[in-house]
Structure 1
């Protein structure tokens, strides 16, 4: 068997970095407290699936496959699971549960996985010829026989078209789910609560278009490196959106001593009339749009929506409400959580799901705030409310 030298260039580096970041991001979402959240688990498996597909493309593009022939087409079944996984993520992020009969969406993946079993047991010589066929058709094949029928479905020749169709269908389903959520709750559109989800959905929706543009321009699969480059860009865009929502990068979490607060605002020009007007705007915004439900709400973001400065908003909270920004958020979020915990319509939601619904990324932070403000844990509060309804 003839072996070509390893080929590394800028595209190979971008794809490899995307694979590494995809593996990291997938494990990040599947471990720790994050892994207890349904949407995080779906996103974690989705990014791992992208990393697997990109990994195979990297091996093919760089010619490393010659040195690991057993990896030929190892990720092929995953083509039929990436689109459902993204839809599961979108749906569970909005509704905090999986779609009905969600296992039916995985039937094509199951069929292809069964189809791939016979492929995995083919001799290396057979896989060598297959690799040449898809990546290096100019090279001479070697004599090889298959042990088993390598494609009992007879559909392997249409895998690009089927992948395109799958991505297109589930991209549309994801965008429709977001649209439905915004129609049911119009304030989500103005609050930007689903902005990150909408960005990722449009990025995923571009995959079918990219397949249409790339595949006709290249013989067989040699243009897949362009798809893998786009996948790497999508993975890093996801990482950016995750970091932007992270509590790690937020400031103003440590409340200032009262003496320091008074000193800080001694020279402020915020009059009582302006304070009263700003307080009315704040109450109206919280009542109508409920921005406190957004997990990434910050003092500067809230000030921008009220058309004031963070300094003046902070002064208002301390002077008129005698609260810090984070105390205010906790008050409203816990109040909203109490409504959900005692509502029979949301009795099916887990405590962690309620924590996320009211704006908390961390369930431990939610439990701490709830216990501090109510004197009870969320579970104790729900049990008391349930007893009161049944009495």
Structure 2
């Protein structure tokens, strides 16, 4: 919030000509742009990592900011009159545009890696949870998309300015307004989320299994035990079933259970459980009381949390929607 406020204030100072009376403010806010993308990246990283700690290595993300400070230092040390002379020179204007171009490229790189973190985290969730309705990643994805649009707008504006099209006044008004909307929306929506990411104990790190102590013999023994549990006790009917809870049922570690499902069944936990739920739904639709049950009733009885997730899973595993399957079943009977 503080960084974005300083960036926006820089636009305002230039827009209203305050820099002419206070030359020492020239160029200060522009350096802050190098802080915005890394801070957003680290914010998302903090949300997706267990026990996140800002290590000394992470401060390297702010290297471009400090390099720009060093580059601008000779300008900052000048007196007011000299600063204004330099500011209105062609060379300063050209250098300023080059810096914005570098900052735009820098922001694109960070948005790419931020998007990658969210995608990896979504996969991690599916390896530990059977229902993801409570895990809302949409708002953070929307924030990334919004920032990407702002970056594209800056790049486009810069291109037009390079070709001599005078849009500086529009640029100085729309960009800070867009940044303001993005930052305020991010804070407001973020505070309203009951759960953005799962509780720490429900997330197991997705690791490679080269160093696993689980032997093939044990794996197949646990696999048979898992199949028997799913068939006889039907734990998948619990819509809040997690990898941790299922591992406790089997009295094995989460890591070993995840390895069995991933390696021996070539599935993630989310798809593994939802396949059982889809089979349960198919059984309910074809049962004698199937014609009396609504799609929503079958959805709830089969262990799904919402109709949308039920429709998605059912179509993924059968190629049909629940409604289509029910109608075909009724026609056949």
Q: TM-score, normalised by structure 1?
A: 0.33
Task: Name the TM-score, length of structure 2 as normaliser.
Answer: 0.39
Greater relative CO, 1 or 2 (CA 8 Å, sep 6+) = 2
